[in-house]
Structure 1
Amino acid sequence: MAKSKFSIGPAALVAAAFIGPGTVTVATKAGANFGFSLLWALLFSVLATMILQEMTARLGVIGQKGLGQSIRELVKNPVLKVISIILVVSAIIIGNAAYEGGNIAGATLGVQAVWDYPDLAGLDLAALIIGVTAFFVLWTGSYRFIEKILIVVVILMSVAFLVTFAITKPDIVGLFKGLLIPSLPDGATLTVIALIGTTVVPYNLFLHSSSAKKKWKTPEELQQARQDIYISIPIGGLISVAIVSTAASAFFGSQMDINSAADMAKSIEPAFGDLAQYMIALGLFAAGISSAITAPLASAYALSGLLNIPEDLRNNKFRIIWMVILVVGVAVASLGLKPVSVIWFAQVANGLLLPIIASFLLWAMNQGFLGQHKNSIWQNILGFVVVIVSIVLGGKSLLSAFQVL
């Protein structure tokens, strides 16, 4: 009977990972520039995330394999294997290091909105605090501890952004209309791509499969993994909806130039009071902590599986991987580089990686080692739709990154 008990788990890590400062900033700009009209894109992205993450959970629980390990084992041709591994490893290192730097830098902007702190020997104090916090959490080498910390962070973000949402008193009818009736205002294409691209994140596929196999070991526990997804991922989506709605209520139709959540934190105080300003800053800082922990962890799981390194949080090679990503991220944020410039590289890497990783996942989920738990026809159809959308989004993401679109 104990095995039937439900507990929040790896999907909470996924929610913590995709609600980073980059997502907060994209959601803020979406609401400020287009009101509630793009909420449908968030709804789609949450459903797509649940489809892919359910597959990774099955891969972990039933196959007891991480996605990186599956990719290494599935590609038999030596040349293709080397090319696949080099491509994915390069994209993960560049992409996650860039996201890490951009997200930490974005979180520091939120802190700066409410706290005028001095530099520490030329380095950003808030970035150092976030980086050191992430370092000690990851260094414990305890999956359960990391999981609990991230669950707390997700709860903190939920409270912060939902309180701000309540303070701004959004138009509920407009909110549901935006969720359920797709529309594409002039100039909104890139914002839709960004909203979906910051939620359906390829690195989370590695993070979830490896985390699921650590937490659950038997087919009987698969239902727990699915319940975890059906609760945690929508909570992450709800946070994004709250951010878009807050920005829409406070700034849509105004003449204010709102380009980030930090701008929103500074601008919201005159109309809605100190509490709203501090809640946004707190939520943005918590988002920075969550990203600082999950991006290096996802990189370590992905590269360990691909390079045949033990997926052991206390293994020195595993630790070196996440430390490199974390140090690069803190350095980028501390040296004053603009988050937008840093995320440009991540945009390119993500545009390349998402369709490839989603295709590998779909391939893995049709293998015989999963037995009766391999993909059904409907799961393949849904997965194929997500892959096609990811290819389109990836192409447009690359074109926009090179200022072609």
Structure 2
Amino acid sequence: MITAALVFGPSKLTITSKMGAVYGYSLLWLVAVAIFFMAVFTAMSTRIGAATNQTLLASVRLKWGNPASVAMGIGVFLVATSFQAGNSVGVGIAAGELFHMSPVPWIIFFNLLAIAMLFYRRFYPLLEKTMIFLIVVMLFCFIITFFYARPDVGQMARGLVTPSVPDGSTGLIIAFTASCFSIVGALYQSYLIQERIRSNPELKNTKNDSHTGIILLGIMCFIVIVCAAAILNPKGIPVNSATDMARALEPIFGSNASAFFLIGLFGAAFSSVIGNASVGGTLLGDALGVGNNFSSATVRYLVALVMVIGAAVAIRFGKLPLELIVFAQSVTIFVVPFIGTAMYMVANDRKIMGDKVNSLFVKVAAGLGLVIIFALAVISSKELFFNNPLFK
């Protein structure tokens, strides 16, 4: 659930809204593909976390030496920090527009609240409950709209089973795949499982089901795309602002659509403010050998550092252009092939994994996932640096 909440941030809400608003139902197949591979890697990461008492980066250090472990930790920290500004902006916009105020005080307030939660003694249970609550808030807003939007079932089915790549959609496809099939999010699952086992050792010998949260992630992506396809696409609204996205909720909430959308946006943003920062701080702490869980004061300070940097960038630049959010999501595709390969090879190592080593099916499915990641990295280099308006 935590992994799903941190992956579904304001940038994911932006990307899925644009996919439905601009291309209708035609990209729904991408949700099924991305969620399948995300489920494979998240389950693999879960088994890595349960198979051994050492962390994933410790296993990487054992196989390839300290430089590889440090490089992974720093890479994840930089990725998390780069997305943190967007999460803080999302929190500020949601609360600011809801109460007709400047977003800056809300950015400061909610980041301070997140840092205060971080130093609460029993942070992990609090984190889990917070994430579940925020997911419920997001699901409520969009599931109700889904039924009132009356989507075209035939087109919806065709979009799911008939892969197509509409003209001009390559950038969004790369951005969605990079963020939904989140290797960094999957990687963090191994740390979350170990944190959970630490608080309840009996869980080590039970089946740790990681699929529930990932299925919820897929449902949220699917619903947002369908709502945008049914409501925004026929009106030709391309989604260039939070107000445009809010109009997807008008069928049920009417004049209150903006308020309910902003509540959903807040849920997506605040869950990612906490979760995303936790990923960056925990992995960097582990890479530097100063701790790998929330019981380490240094790790908590590193998590807080990600929040502070993100808030500072958000306050300095204000409302980030939606194109920049899409661009930032796409850039991660250059970092994740290395991380995904390391996870795959660790999970294939019977000396480390024991009876939790990858099965033949997982080896084939995860190997195909890695091929897709490397292919997208090659494609995205052209899309980002030659076709992106930010470079023109």
Q: Secondary structure at the match of 1:116?
A: coil
Aligned length: 382
Q: Secondary structure at the match of 1:253?
A: coil
Are 2:57 and 1:61 equivalent residues in the alignment? no
Alignment of 1:1-400 (within 5 A): 12-76=1-65, 81-82=66-67, 84-118=68-102, 124-141=104-121, 142-216=123-197, 217=201, 221-223=205-207, 225-226=208-209, 229-265=210-246, 269=250, 273-337=254-318, 338-340=320-322, 343=325, 346-347=328-329, 349-367=331-349, 368-400=351-383
CA contact (8 A) 2:277 2:303 kept: yes
CA gap of 1:110–1:246, structure 2 versus 1, over 3 A, is farther
CA distance in 1, matches of 2:323, 2:257: 28
CA positional deviation for 1:332: 1.3
CA distance in 2, matches of 1:16, 1:268: 21
CA distance in 1, matches of 2:327, 2:26: 28
* Amino acid paired to 1:134: A
CA gap of 1:345–1:88, structure 2 versus 1, over 3 A, is farther
CA positional deviation for 1:301: 2.2
Q: Secondary structure at the match of 2:4?
A: helix
Q: Larger deviation: 378-387 or 135-144?
A: 135-144
CA distance in 2, matches of 1:127, 1:219: 37
Give CA deviations for 1:370-403 in whole Å, capped at 9, x if unaligned: 1121012221111100111111122333433323
Q: Percent identity?
A: 23
CA gap of 1:157–1:219, structure 2 versus 1, over 3 A, is closer
CA contact (8 A) 1:21 1:104 kept: no
CA distance in 1, matches of 2:269, 2:37: 24
Give CA deviations for 1:336-366 in whole Å, capped at 9, x if unaligned: 3425476477446512221111100011001
* Amino acid paired to 1:197: A
CA distance in 1, matches of 2:69, 2:86: 25
Q: Which runs of 5+ in 2 are unaligned?
A: none
Normalized against structure 1, the TM-score is what? Answer: 0.87
CA gap of 1:97–1:251, structure 2 versus 1, over 3 A, is same
CA distance in 1, matches of 2:323, 2:231: 27
Normalized against structure 2, the TM-score is what? Answer: 0.90
Q: Larger deviation: 58-67 or 269-278?
A: 269-278
CA distance in 2, matches of 1:219, 1:116: 46
CA distance in 1, matches of 2:321, 2:278: 21
CA distance in 2, matches of 1:110, 1:348: 24
Any runs of at least 4 consecutive aligned residues in structure 1 with deviations exceeding 6 A, and if so which? none
CA positional deviation for 1:85: 4.0
